[in-house]
Structure 1
Amino acid sequence: MGEMSGFQLGVIGALFLSVASSVSIVICNKALMSHLGFPFATTLTSWHLMVTYCTLHVAQRFNFFENKSIDMQTVMLFGILNGVSIGFLNLSLGFNSIGFYQMTKLAIIPFTVLLETLFLKKQFSQKIKFSLFLLLVGVGIASITDLQLNLVGTILSLLAIITTCVGQILTNTIQKRLNVSSTQLLYQSAPFQAAILFVSGPLVDQYLTRQNVFAYKYSPIVLGFIILSCLIAVSVNFSTFLVIGKTSPVTYQVLGHLKTCLVLGFGYTLLHDPFTERNIIGILVAIIGMGLYSYFCTHENKKKQLGDLSPGSQIKDKNSSTPLSGGKNMAHQDKESHEVKKSTKGSLV
């Protein structure tokens, strides 16, 4: 019971860290991009990942965690996939309207459920599906305005959805199957994510913004916000891997939409963004959906634990030759830091 209580506290801590850090970086990046005129979202993300890797490297040198070697091909493909997914999300925002981009983000949850059902044989109850549907409807009401379709934007959105879902599922699967922690996986994969974005970021940003990141005139206040954004990103990246490892990719996406609702609220109270009755209704519906999802997940997990502790299941476990291995945990780059940029159409990570 003590071990289970400690695990639950760890999950709560991971969720809180993810929400706090993600909302903080969204507000920081919105100020940087919308108010200070720094629109280079993809390049900024590569800096986030480089700072994250350097921070973890120093922590590993001081023995804050033990480095565990992972097959190089697995780590390289995983890192490149996550880096590419961030690029596709930014391109999706650049080629689509804000409303269609929000639809792209909403589509990640049902597509993740579909992939896990088909390939991982994971079962989702009707109650869970209903709560997710209610959540998506609420976020859609609160955040989706215009829906303008175009062929290139639609293709980029589909690629963004696929790469994001596969990357987050792999984040969970690799940690559990290889028994590595979120910190170990992030430390191994961050250099490859940073490298792919460092090379492609300036090109993507120049195509989307018609500005050159290397020709930009960096004022002290812009540099200060960039440094702050990179420091917060360390927590964002770590908490992303941690949450997905401790829970699931679907739960992480649900948490991401909670952050969207919080960002809308903070934008209204702190930055005086426009806010309507539609926003309020949508956020309330989304919160109800999140609450039901949390309740149904907790209820089903308790039923599963009671089933595992029953005499019949214990006898079955004793006769079984396959031990259950507990996956360590994780967290990853915030692709949901891709929050709505009305003036720059830039996303954040």
Structure 2
Amino acid sequence: MGEMSTLQFGVIGALFLSVASSVSIVICNKALMSNLGFPFATTLTSWHLMVTFCTLHAAQRLNFFESKSTDTRTVILFGLLNGISIGLLNLSLGFNSIGFYQMTKLAIIPFTVLLETIFLKKQFSQKIKFSLFLLLIGVGIASVTDLQLNLVGTIVSILAIITTCVGQILTNTIQKRLNVSSTQLLYQSAPFQAAILFVSGPLVDQFLTKQNVFAHKYSPLVLLFIALSCLIAVAVNFSTFLVIGKTSPVTYQVLGHLKTCLVLGFGYTLLHDPFTERNIIGILIAVWGMGLYSYFCTQESKKKQLADASMVSQIKDKDTTPLLSAKSMGHQDKESQETKISTKDSAV
């Protein structure tokens, strides 16, 4: 019970850190890009990852965690895949309308469910699917506005969905298969994610913004917000790997849509963004779906724990029964032998 309580507190802490850091970085980046005129999102992400790696390297040298040797080829491919998925998501936003980009992000959940069902043989109950459906409907109502389709944008979005889903599923499976912690995996893969974005980031940003990141005028305020964004990103990247490792890729995506609802709410209250009845209705439906998802997951988790405990109990009973039987038989044989001796003595 003590280990289970510790695990639950660990999951809750990871979820809270993920939500708090993600909402913080969205607000920080919105101020940086919208108010201070720094639109280079992909290049900024590469800086995030490099600062994350440097922070983890310092933590490892100070013995906060132990570096573990892993399958280098797997980690390199994993890091490159995650870097590509980030670039494709940013390109998707550049090629498509905001509404279609939001639809792309919504499609990640059903596609993840599909991939896990086909390749990992994972079963999702009808209740879980219903709660996810409600969540997607709510977020769609709250955030999706215009839907403008084009061929190139659609292809880029499909590639972004595939790479993002596969990357998040691998985040969970690699941690379990290689027996590494979220911190160890992030430490191993962050340099490769940063490397591919260092190379592609300026090109992607120049294509999207028609501006050169190296020719931008960096004021002290811009540098301050970039530094703040990089520091928050350390918590974002760490909590992402932590949440996926402790829960599942689908739960992480559900959490991501909770962040979307919170960002919409904070945008209205703090930044005075436009807010309509449609946004309110969508957020309420989404929160309802998230609540049902959490409740159904908790119920299924408890049933699984009870089933596992019952199975362990049956195995223990099965293991101890022969011993008891043997002792009983031995005791009976001893009594029988004593009876025979006594009978023999009486006959004499």
- Write the distance in 2 (CA, Å) between the matches of 1:80 and 1:318: 49
CA 73–270 in structure 1, closer or farther in 2 if over 3 Å, else same? same
Q: State the match for 2:39 in structure 1.
A: 39
Q: Is the 8 A contact 1:60 1:67 kept in 2?
A: yes
Deviation per CA, 1:97-120, whole angstroms, max 9, x where unpaired?
000000000000000000000000
Q: State the match for 1:94 in structure 2.
A: 94
**Paired amino acid for 1:247:** T
Q: State the match for 2:183 in structure 1.
A: 183
TM-score (norm 1): 0.90
- Write the distance in 1 (CA, Å) between the matches of 2:317 and 2:80: 39
Offset, 1:164:
0.1
**Paired amino acid for 1:146:** D
Q: Secondary structure of the residue that 1:214 maps to in structure 2?
A: helix
State percent identity of aligned pairs: 88
Q: State the match for 2:340 in structure 1.
A: none
Deviation per CA, 1:15-68, whole angstroms, max 9, x where unpaired?
000000000000000000011110000000000000000000000000000000
**Paired amino acid for 1:229:** S
Q: Is the 8 A contact 1:49 1:194 kept in 2?
A: yes
Larger Rg: 2
Runs of 4 or more off by more than 6 Å in structure 1? Answer: 316-319
Offset, 1:177:
1.1
The reply on whether 1:261 has 2:271 as its aligned counterpart is no
- Write the distance in 2 (CA, Å) between the matches of 1:162 and 1:313: 42
Q: State the match for 1:273 in structure 2.
A: 273
Offset, 1:71:
1.0
Q: Is the 8 A contact 1:308 1:314 kept in 2?
A: no
**Paired amino acid for 1:111:** F
Q: Is the 8 A contact 1:79 1:189 kept in 2?
A: yes
Structure with the bigger percentage of helix: 2
**Paired amino acid for 1:237:** N
Q: State the match for 1:136 in structure 2.
A: 136
TM-score (norm 2): 0.90
Q: Secondary structure of the residue that 2:165 maps to in structure 1?
A: helix
**Paired amino acid for 1:25:** I
Q: State the match for 2:236 in structure 1.
A: 236
CA 317–160 in structure 1, closer or farther in 2 if over 3 Å, else same? farther
What runs of 5+ residues in structure 1 fail to find an aligned partner?
320-349
CA 123–271 in structure 1, closer or farther in 2 if over 3 Å, else same? same
- Write the distance in 1 (CA, Å) between the matches of 2:34 and 2:273: 12
CA 120–311 in structure 1, closer or farther in 2 if over 3 Å, else same? closer
Q: Is the 8 A contact 1:307 1:313 kept in 2?
A: no
**Paired amino acid for 2:96:** N
Offset, 1:315:
1.1
Q: How many residues align?
A: 319
CA 55–280 in structure 1, closer or farther in 2 if over 3 Å, else same? same
- Write the distance in 1 (CA, Å) between the matches of 2:42 and 2:136: 27
CA 316–296 in structure 1, closer or farther in 2 if over 3 Å, else same? farther
Q: Secondary structure of the residue that 2:213 maps to in structure 1?
A: coil
Q: State the match for 2:4 in structure 1.
A: 4
- Write the distance in 2 (CA, Å) between the matches of 1:313 and 1:30: 55
Q: State the match for 2:215 in structure 1.
A: 215
Q: Secondary structure of the residue that 2:251 maps to in structure 1?
A: helix
CA 74–311 in structure 1, closer or farther in 2 if over 3 Å, else same? closer
Deviation per CA, 1:178-212, whole angstroms, max 9, x where unpaired?
11000000000000000000000000000000000
Q: State the match for 1:339 in structure 2.
A: none
The reply on whether 1:69 has 2:69 as its aligned counterpart is yes
**Paired amino acid for 2:94:** G
CA 317–200 in structure 1, closer or farther in 2 if over 3 Å, else same? farther
Q: State the match for 1:310 in structure 2.
A: 310
Offset, 1:314:
4.4
